[in-house]
Structure 1
Amino acid sequence: MDTIQSPATHSLATGAARAHLRRLAAGTLMPGFTGIAVPVWILEAYDAGLAAVCLYGTNVASPVQLRELCAGLRAHSPNTLIAVDEEGGDVTRLHYLTGSTQPGNAVLGRLDDVELTAASASAIGHELAGLGINLNLAPDADVNSAPDNPVIGVRSFGAEPGLVARHTAAWIRGLEDAGVASCAKHFPGHGDTTTDSHLALPRVTADAATLDARELVPFRALVAARGATVMTSHILVEALDPDHPATFSPRILQDLLRRDMGFEGVIITDALDMAGASAQTGIPEAAVRALIAGADLLCLGSETEPALFEQTITAIADAVGDGRLPMERLADAVARTQALSSRFPAAGAAEIQEAAIRGQLGLPGQPQHAGVPAEPKALDGERIAEAFEVSEAAERWLAREEPVAIVQVETGSNFAVGRVPWGPAATTSAVVREGEVPDGARVAVVGRGLDAEHPLWTVFARLRAEGHAVIAVECGWPRGGADIVTYGASLTVSQALTALLNGTAKA
């Protein structure tokens, strides 16, 4: 005889099922948050099943504050994923206030020593592990085939697929050997774009053969290296799926990446607050579409508010209830994300504090967790300078004996970089305004993204007209015309540049 549920019993059962479904939905989300302290709603979200959080530069006020923030997150949720964009080079979050102590991908690609690349990634990994951060949204595995790419550029190892592939694999090895999960990005390749997906939806028009021989080569290296995660891109790749951006394309995520390429790790979306993802639909619907397509962990963006977080959970739960999102797909995403946190256990709050104490007292060693070996030494400035492109005109300028003046022309940055100090102005050297250049000085005018319309060229022309010996320095990806190209603007690259210009380092 069938049991007939009372309305109250049915309501309780339905409520329990709904609560379980919402907990699963939370287990696919990775919000950011505003401020330099953990907000209460994040702690409540952890209690409700939240999978991860992502830290951004605006969450950093000082090294001590960042350490305390991470320790607080770990104390409340020891097994959570704490993520960050710490690519090294121009894109840094830990060193948002000063600039990165690592040279960045383009410099490493120019040096083309995979052991140096692995060592740079290992150094980043050790720093992250010491804070209890166990997921790094790096490396950038894009082949930068468009010189005027507004968002990739020096974040890429280079324009040659084989080079990018071997350095992607080395970077993954160095980071993951330090106990931190990697995330190769931006699948299936953001290098052949001239639109920033933060602002609009880029289109890639290359044919399938070109994509296979260029864009996909580094991601095959990711699969071979058994990298932990991959990040999707909000780009429309016409040859692969003319109707859906990669983040929302089952053809690209399930058929190509999972089935054809054999990737078994976690698929993470690029931030869903970007215009390329959600300008037309809003973030909650973008989250549903990404899960349906095959994504596992959804990056919501840097300034997630509790209302948006709740709306996204509701949208996911409703999509399961409506049959748009299969329960099996949602459960698979949660299981993959949980397996990732188990594969990369992080330092606990006590170990983070131990690391802080040892650092404050000047004691050697790392907290003992995850079998992390000793941290490698940083790359020295003269080795970094070997990656610079130096013209004959610049070599003649460097050989002159007049006093040196450096003028840095302020240049905006893309959303991925943010407002990080860059160039000689970020170092301890004196940088002067154009009107303060001494008579008789030779001048290096420094900028980045030096297209034909860049204001640097006006400054350059005026100083040359005044009789100065002038060179132009590009602190980004070369676009033509610069006398020195550094392929990056991080603190350590800028220090190497400053030493070169001042004659205290070899060309």
Structure 2
Amino acid sequence: MHKGKYGLAVLAMLLIFASGCSGQKSDSGQQAAGGAGQEMSNGGTNQGTADGGASGGQQNAAAGGTDTSGGAGGTSEGAGGGADGSPGAGTSGNTGGSQNGDGAGATSPDTGSGLPAPSANVLRQLQSMTLDEKLGEMIVAGMDGNTPTSRTKTMIQQQHVGGVIFYKNNVTDPKGLAAYVNQLKAWNRDNPSALFLSVDEEGGTVSRLPGLEKFPDAWDVGKTKDTGYAADMGGFLGAASSAMGMNVDYAPVLDINSNPNNPVIGVRSFGATSDLVSQMGLPVMKGIQAQGVISVVKHFPGHGDTSVDSHLDLPVVNKSLKQLQQFEWVPFADAIREGADAVMVAHILFPKIDPKYPASLSKTIITDELRGTLGFQGVVITDDLTMGAIGKHFGIGEAAVQSVKAGADIMLVAHGYDDVVTVIDALKKSISQGGISKKRIDESVTRILTLKEKYGLSDRKTVQTPNLTSLNAEIRKAIGAH
């Protein structure tokens, strides 16, 4: 079995985590933090057809990862980092800003298995935030153009969005992307927390970041059954994302490609069995995490047996709860046990479980099953609410309100500045009418701030234009060995 250097980096990261590191101080209170913690950052997604889906270009988001705050002993450059300054894929070292267990056991909503208990810093920050800031924190929004615009500035500074997603039309080259990211960071510095800077970088068919060697599809990685190779691919994805300023990667896909007529998953899946998808998908997740990048596993409860593309309309899967638990949910359950921090929930109707709402809006699926049965209490993000599966059946405001009632923490609004306003207005109206409690909002914002703090996100460190020469050489070498 291939034991690549990126697989070893993952092992080193896990050993560091197990030894009791408590996380970095982040910009979850960024005005006061003064940049004390080291930033860990990553990527965006693609305009047009994200997720390899049909027209409308929707994207998938959420986040997951293990704590990479390894202290001064962490590798600062990483495997593959060369004298040319190109990034490697080793574990990033934390040179300061340790929380020292600050606030452990504080009274607050329990964030559950994927995240540590909220620190005193997070709880103080939560108490200082206005309702507008809290609601903005729960949105990851899309942007127009490949340079920052006044509409984007307004969205960040007035709507206080918690993150953005990069699509293909937002990306030119590594230099342009770095400049874009740095401007967004500058605009966000007076907000309560650092931005999620996210990208759909799965490798293969769904690849958004510029200047990279072409990655194999997940299906080709899965066929090797080489977990070391999968860990290397995850390390490469994380290193590339981090080098270009991204701190969230919507990968890996944990859907099982069990339906040959599936129009949207296909080669994006690692295989047609639950065992193979778990075997190969989890090392990719950990490889991304080892680079200080939040991995979002997707698309719960499983998109592999659909025959309709949710970018266009609402898929319906007539499987029972027992069938899902024994097949589609296996890779997600394994990922949760192995430290997933974020899960993206799909727009799919499972009428035998919830006949009224798709998974992304279903309290039965998100709260009762994902959080309850599977024990996941990390960050839950919806698939893009501007997709046809939602737009043809629900208004975006209605969908946002229902997703929060169901237990989602972040709403992905990948297209349309006006849609962000609509979502915020709908949430405010529901709160004023008693449909959503402020306690429910605080639960989600606590999880989000805790995840940002765990990964040491900061808007105070600028992104340099990366030299990708050594990283691309390592990618070619790994692919060539298979």
Give the structure-2-normalised TM-score: 0.69
1:337, distance to aligned residue in structure 2 (A): 1.2
1:65 partnered with 2:176: yes
Q: What is the aligned counterpart of 1:304 among 416, 428, 435?
A: 416
Report if the CA contact (8 A) 1:139-1:171 is conserved: yes
Report the CA distance shift for 1:382/1:114 in structure 2 as closer, same or farther (over 3 A): same
CA-CA distance at 1:101 after TM superposition: 2.0
* Aligned match of 2:244: 131
Alpha-carbon separation, structure 2, partners of 1:25 and 1:318:
12
The answer to whether the aligner puts 1:282 opposite 2:392 as a matched pair is no
Does residue 1:80 correspond to 2:199, yes or no?
Answer: no
Is the 1:81–1:135 contact (alpha carbons within 8 Å) kept by the matching residues of 2?
yes
1:375-434 Cα shifts (integer Å, max 9, x gaps)? 9544555444xxxxxxxxxxxxxxxxxxxxxxxxxxxxxxxxxxxxxxxxxxxxxxxxxx
1:207 counterpart (304, 320, 331): 320
SS, match of residue 294 in structure 2: coil
1:129 and 1:347 in contact (8 A); partners too = no
The equivalent residue for 2:206 is 91
Deviates more, 1:275-284 or 1:180-189: 275-284
2:224, 2:274 → 1: CA distance?
16
Contact between 1:186 and 1:233, CA under 8 Å: does it hold in 2?
yes
Unaligned runs of 5+ in 1: 1-16, 366-373, 385-507
Do the aligned residues in 1 keep the contact of 2:221 with 2:230 (CA within 8 Å)?
A: yes
Q: CA deviation at 1:80?
A: 1.2
1:323 aligned to 2:438?
no
Measure, in 1, the Cα distance between the counterparts of 2:431 and 2:353.
27
**Equivalent residue in structure 1 for 2:131, among 9, 14, 21:** 21
Q: Counterpart of 1:169 in 2: which secondary structure?
A: helix
- Check 1:346–1:101 CA distance in 2 against 1; reply closer, same or farther (3 A cut): farther
Please state how far the C-alpha of 1:240 moved relative to its aligned partner.
2.2
Matched residue, 2:277: 164
- What letter matches 1:81 in structure 2? F
User: What secondary structure sits across from 2:419 in the alignment?
Assistant: helix
CA contact (8 A) 1:90 1:99 kept: no
- One-letter code aligned to 1:21: L
Structure 2 CA distance for partners of 1:221 and 1:322, relative to 1, 3 Å = same
What code does the residue aligned with 2:182 have?
A
Give me the whole-angstrom Cα distance separating, in 2, the residues matched to 1:349 and 1:110: 42
Q: Which consecutive unaligned segments of at least 5 residues does structure 2 have? A: 1-126
Q: Which amino acid aligns with 2:278?
A: A
* Counterparts in 2 of 1:164 and 1:375: CA distance versus 1, 3 Å: same
Q: What does residue 269 of structure 1 align with?
A: 382
Q: Number of paired residues?
A: 350
Name the aligned partner's letter for residue 76 of structure 1.
W
Alignment-derived partner of residue 342 in structure 1: 453
Query: Match of 2:329?
Result: 216
Which secondary structure state, in structure 1, belongs to the residue aligned with residue 463 of structure 2? helix
Q: What's 1:147 paired with?
A: 260
Once residues 103 and 53 of structure 1 are traced to their aligned partners in structure 2, the CA distance between those partners, rounded to angstroms, is: 26
Instruction: Identify the residue that residue 155 of structure 2 maps to in structure 1.
Output: 45
Q: CA deviation at 1:21?
A: 2.3
Higher relative contact order (CA 8 A, sep 6+): 2
1:107 deviates by 0.8
Do the aligned partners of 1:102 and 1:379 also contact (CA within 8 Å) in 2? no
Query: Any conservation in 1 of the 2:305–2:317 contact (CA below 8 Å)?
Result: yes
Residues 376/266 of structure 1: CA separation in 2 closer, same or farther (3 Å cut):
farther
Task: Work out whether residues 146 and 193 of structure 1, in 8 Å CA contact, stay in contact via their aligned partners in 2.
Answer: yes
Q: Structure 1: how far apart are the matches of 2:445 and 2:460?
A: 24
How far apart, CA to CA, are the structure 2 residues paired with 1:342 and 1:144?
Answer: 35
Residue type of the alignment partner of 1:39 = T
Q: Does the C-alpha gap of structure 1 residues 344 and 350 become closer, same or farther in structure 2, counting only changes over 3 Å?
A: closer
From the CA coordinates, give the structure whose radius of gyration is larger: 1
TM-superposed CA distance for 1:238, in Å, is 2.4
The one-letter amino acid paired with 2:402 is R
CA shift for structure 1 position 339: 1.4
Conserved? CA contact 2:215–2:475, under 8 Å: no
Q: Would you say 1:238 and 2:351 are equivalent positions?
A: yes
| In structure 2, distance between residues paired with 1:333 and 1:278 | 24
TM-score (structure 1 length as normaliser): 0.65
Identity %: 32
- Which amino acid letter does the alignment assign opposite residue 304 of structure 2? G
* C-alpha distance in 1 between matches for 2:348 and 2:179: 37
Task: Return the letter of the residue paired with 1:25.
Answer: L
